[in-house]
Every structure is written in C-alpha cells, then in structure tokens.
Amino acid sequence: VPRKVSMVFRKLPGVSASGMGLRLSQKFVFLLFLSALVTLCFGALFFLPDSVRLKRIFLSKTETQPVTVGSGSENDVREHFKKPKEQDHPRGMTSAKGESSTRLKSLRRKPPLPPLATEERLSGGRAQEDLTLSRTRTESASEKASAADRGSDSDTFSYARFQRCLLKPPLGRDHGKPSDPRTDERREKVKEMMKFAWDNYKLYAWGKNELRPLTKNGHIGNMFGGLRGASIIDSLDTLYIMGLMDEYNDAKEWVKTSLDLNSNGEASLFEVNIRYVGGLLAAYYLTGEEVFRSKVLELGEKLLPAFSTPTGIPRGVINLGSGTSWSWGWASAGSSILAEFGTLHLEFVHLTELSKNPIYTEKVMNIRKLLNKIEKPHGLYPNFLSPVSGNWVQHHVSIGGLGDSFYEYLIKSFLMSDKTDGDAKKMYYEAMEAIEANLVQKSPGGLTYMAEWRGGILDHKMGHLACFSGGMIGIGADDGAPEKRQHYLDLAAEITHTCHESYSPTKLGPEAFRFDDGGEATATRLNDRYYILRPEVIESYMYMWRLTHDPKYREWGWEAVQALEQHCRVEFGFSGIRDVYTTAVSHDNMQQSFFLSETLKYLYLLFSDDDLLPLEDWVFNTEAHPLPVIQSESYQSDRSVTINV
C-alpha cells in the first residue's frame, strides 16, 4: 500500500512520499492559527465599542440595528425622523389587548410627547433642520394607508380606523335635514346662496383668492405669499356638507392639478394656517381623499421655519419658499401677535396625527409652555409678545382683534382632546376669570359687553370679531366648575344678545361698536361702520341654538340671511358694504373667502339638525373648518382599537 501511495504522489511536482507526513502537520498547524486569527478579528468587530461603522460594511441595511432616541439631542432627533418605523414610539403604548407586536395607531387627544419628556427638544431654533429631516420619509401615502388598514405593523395614520372612532356619522342620518318644513326651506335658501357665490367665483375669479363681484374679476392679495385659490380651499368642506357635489369635485380637481405650494412670497402664518391648513385637513377628514392629506402635509412642513426664533414663538410672516420669517412691520418692537401664534394648536396637533411626526405638536406645546411661565398682568394675556425675549411688549388686552382666537383655541384644544388636555382647560378658565374681573362690563342700558384693556384703562369698545365669544363661552359652560355652568350659559346669552343689538338698522353689524358718550352698541366713528361679510355673530347664533334650542337664534339668523340678500347680494356675487347705517349701500367689491367658509356654513348648520357635524365629534377651527375630536384612550380601548401614543 505505501508503494501505491508513493507512485500516486510522484505525479505532483515537488512532492515526495518520504516528506508527506511532515508537510501535512505544518499545514494543519497553519490552518489552526489562521482560524484562530479570523475568529479573534470577527469577535473584535462585533464586541468592541467602536465597531458600528465596521458592522455597516459587513451587514445589510435590513440587519443594521436602529439608533435609539435617547437624550433628545439633534442627532437623536435626526435618526427619529429618518427611521420612523425602526423604533418604539416615545410613549411606548400598546394595544388594548396587550399585543406589543402590532402597533396600530388612531386619533388620540393627548400630545404625542409629554412636556417633561421633551423639554430639551422644544427649542424653536431647530425648525429648518426638522423640516429637512421630515422630508426623508419616502414611503408613499397610499402605501402607508394600505399597510395601516391591513392591520400591519405601521406608524401611519389609518383613515378607516379614524372613521370607526367617530361617535356619529359626520353628515347625520339624513344630511342634517330638519323635519320642520319652514326651517328646511330656510336651509335650502342658504344652500342657494352658497351655490350663487361659488358659481360666480368660478366664472370670474377661478384660481384667484377671492372674487370682486362688481368688476367681475379675481383678487390675489398679499396675505398668502403667492398661494392661490383661497376661496376654493375655504369652500371644500362647505360644498361637501351642503351636498353640492359637482362643485366640490371641481374644487377637488383644482387642488389636485393646480394648487402650487412652491410659492415665494410674504405669507401670513396665521392666515395660511387657518384657511389652507385648516381647509385641507377638514376636507381630508370628511372625505378621505388622499390628495388633501398629501397637500396639507407638504404645506405644514413649509410653515415650520417660522418657529426659528430664540423662544420658539413664531414670527407672523414667512416666505414659504426660502423659509425666512419676520414680524409684521406694524407690530410693536418686532413682536408676535397673541391671536396669531395662539391660533395654531388645533391644526398642528392634527398635522402630527396625520404625519406621525411629533414636531408639530412640540412647536405648539412650546408656545403653551412659555405662556405658562411668564407673568400675566391681572391674569390677562396682552396682545404683543417678543419672539426674542419672550416678554410682553405692550399691555393691551382684547377679546376682539389681536387676541380673539387665542382664547377660542384654549377651550377648543380641551374639547378636541376629548377633554383630557387639562393644561388647556386650566389656562382657559383662569383666563375667563381674569376677563370677567377686568373686561366684562354692563352698559347703562343693560347690555353686557367685552371692553378692551390698555394698561389698566378700559376702552369701552367691542369689535365684531369679539362677538364669537358668545359661542365660545357657551361651549365651555359644561366643563368649568359645576356651580358656574348656568352662569356661563347666561353670560354667553348676554354677549350674543348684545351683538344682535349691534345688527341694526340694516340687520348687519359694524366692525366695532361702543358704549360710551351715550352710545349703546353703536359705531360712533365713521371708519367702524363697515361690514365685510363677517361670520362671528352668526357663529354665536349657531352655537347658542345647539346649546339651548331657543328659537330666537334661528330667527336672528334668518334676519341675517334676509339682510345679506337685500344689502350684500349683487348681480355677480356677494359684497361687503361700507356703512351699515344707511340703506343706500356702497359696496366694497369683495367676496371674502371666509364668507364661503364660515358665514354661509354657520347659517346652514343653524338651520340643520344637530347631527350634521355633531359637536361630540367635531371642533371647528377659527375659519369654521371642522376637525375631529381625538378620542380618548379608554374609548378607543373599549372598541378594541390599538393605541400607540
């Protein structure tokens, strides 16, 4: 046998049978050494602390472990936005059944991140970076919705799940059709007014922001920074709830094909938010059309740079293209306006809901945090605040212009949270106590009104804008101290009555009215006598009707319908008038977009049954765009809806 082996190996050059045993041993030892070396190297690769980059060389992307959001540093935030699906949500909630593997999400009412857990991340100076990071999400909206509706592991918003959380159908049993024929006839009249206003806008101003009905052309204006179609966006939900479906579909098609968000002009953060963001959010929640969701999320990102200030208080004007922002030139000492930075909360919380990006809620929670910190004179909130120092600039307080919707958004934030946002509730009722103690006045003729406060000196003037407060106080009556419920309802009724009294003799009200020099709810100055189709008085009628069902509110609303028809309807639309005290009216040639969004919508709701956009499910933003209540966790759990907050 050895001879045969020797003969075989002779065929291999340089190998002899006599040296075979020694060379095999050398090879065996060498292989053992090499194996040990390789094992040592790979052990170091996976266990030494600074081996992350080496791991990325050898491991595929799907095997790489996610970076954990920890300290709240900017790098952590960056990873959080880039990899929304690779890590637990900060609140770490699971389903009602305790299943941690399936992370289905639905609307909820609490901020995505508790204030104490996010204090280091609430700086306003990071908005531009946050904007860039949020754009790294590449999954399409339709893919996300599909995944969520299949019940897959997803951090996306599910429209189908949202619908299941509503207590009642948005449009009621029969689209809110009242059983009383006379009321239904009045409702149909409001619907006809809406169609008339819309048809003329479409005919003469399509794609522009507003219609000029006397000259039959469109108006662009400079409030929206180059954005177009304000009347279209403002009308989407009104057309839909009125059942004007051909008109709604035209509006939807324009949004899909012509709404260009790549503008490069000076936009009011406030106006873009309440009209465009609010209008698109409402249209999406009512219809589920994905185009509205994608557009509103794109627009929401463009607003974030306005928060890039030392305090996080946004400036009032923003260039939607460059992201630069500044304060209004007329604002004292470069200040921001209470009613502007205080009227973002509802929309921004819903931007977080739809995007699952917590940055929007963080920005508005930062505003609230600062307001809770600073001292308030007599418990009141002045109208001007420095976005640099975080201090009040002037001690001018008003429930009308400059201040109005800040207070509205406090109580509506509480209601929209399904009454879990205790911080908003506390701020609202403390503000109401200060308002009653310092601003609420009774005229010699017995009319209750809201005066303005200038450093301790009362100005006995009330603006038309302040007339929303009747409805605001009414919807907040049930949730304060129980013994004060009737007090708040009475105060709401008195304020609404005062505003109705200002609607005389044309049954349309002036921009501002006074209670001094013998005046009783009368515009004593010529430049206060105009009416620009405003909705605030009618808004309070609608809320007071739903709260009390006192028929006088519907009668007062019908008076307003007749007055609008008589004094504001012209051949090609509706126009504001310059003097409400003369029947020989002079028109201002402007059909405001809020006339379509608010005035006509509130009138239509006033003459509808309460199950059309029921207040249990919906909160109206300050432009009357309905946003859904974010249902409480206990309610969702009862319906076996998985919560991930």
DSSP 277-344: IHHHHHHHHHH--HHHHHHHHHHHHHHGGGG-SSSSPPPSEEETTT--EE--TTSGGGPEEHHHHTS-
Q: 308 versus 2: which is more confidently predicted?
A: 308
Residues annotated as catalytic (active site), given as ranges: 271, 404, 511, 536
pLDDT tens across 504-532, in order?
A: 899 999 999 999 988 899 999 999 999 99
Domains observed in the chain: 159-643 (1.50.10.10)
Cα 181 to chain center, whole Å?
A: 37
Is 132 labelled as part of a ligand binding site?
no
Dihedral in degrees, nearest 10, Cα atoms 101, 104, 108, 113:
50
Out of 75-79, 375-379, 583-587, which region has the weakest mean confidence (pLDDT)? Answer: 75-79
Tell me what the mean pLDDT of segment 366-391 comes to.
98
CA distance 4 to 428: 103
Please state, in angstroms and rounded to a whole number, the distance separating the CA atoms of residues 445 and 132: 58
Range from 98-112, 225-239, 607-621 carrying the lowest mean pLDDT: 98-112
The identity of residue 644, as a single letter, is N
Long-range contacts of 291-296 (CB under 8 A, 24+ apart): 291/252, 291/255, 291/256, 292/236, 292/252, 292/255, 293/141, 293/157, 293/354, 294/141, 295/255, 295/259, 295/261, 296/351, 296/354
Give the count of beta carbons closer than 10 Å to the beta carbon of residue 433: 13
Residue 125 has a pLDDT of 39
Contact of 291 with 256, CB cutoff 8 Å:
yes
Read off the pTM.
Answer: 0.78
Nearest to 523, CA basis, from 584, 581, 449, 567: 581
Q: 3-state class of 448 per DSSP?
A: strand
263 vs 277: CA distance, rounded Å: 15
Question: Which has more confidence, 160 or 88?
Answer: 160
pLDDT at 392 over 70: yes
Distance CA 44, CA 50 (A): 10
Cβ burial 77-106 (10 Å sphere, 16+ → b, else e): bbbbbeebeeeebbbebbbbeeeeeebbbb
Please tell me the least confidently modeled range out of 109-113, 232-236, 271-275: 109-113
Predicted local confidence at residue 410, as pLDDT: 98
End-to-end CA distance of the chain: 78
Give the pLDDT confidence score for residue 56 in this predicted structure: 33
Is residue 576 very low, low, confident or very high in pLDDT (cuts 50, 70, 90)?
very high
CB 184 within 8 A of CB 612: no
User: In 167-213, which residue ranges form alpha helices assigned H by DSSP?
Assistant: 181-205
- State residue 542's pLDDT score: 98
- Lowest-confidence segment of 1-10, 143-152, 371-380, 555-564 by average pLDDT: 1-10
Q: Give the pLDDT confidence score for residue 102 in this predicted structure.
A: 32
Residues 63-78 have a mean pLDDT of: 31
pLDDT confidence of residue 156: 86
Q: Residue 146 pLDDT > 70, yes or no? A: no
SS3 210: strand
Q: Which residue has the higher pLDDT, 633 or 460?
A: 460
pLDDT at 39: 62
Query: HSE on the CB side for 512, CA within 13 Å?
Result: 19
Could you tell me which of 158, 190, 134, 569 has the C-alpha nearest to residue 360? 134
**pLDDT, position 633:** 54
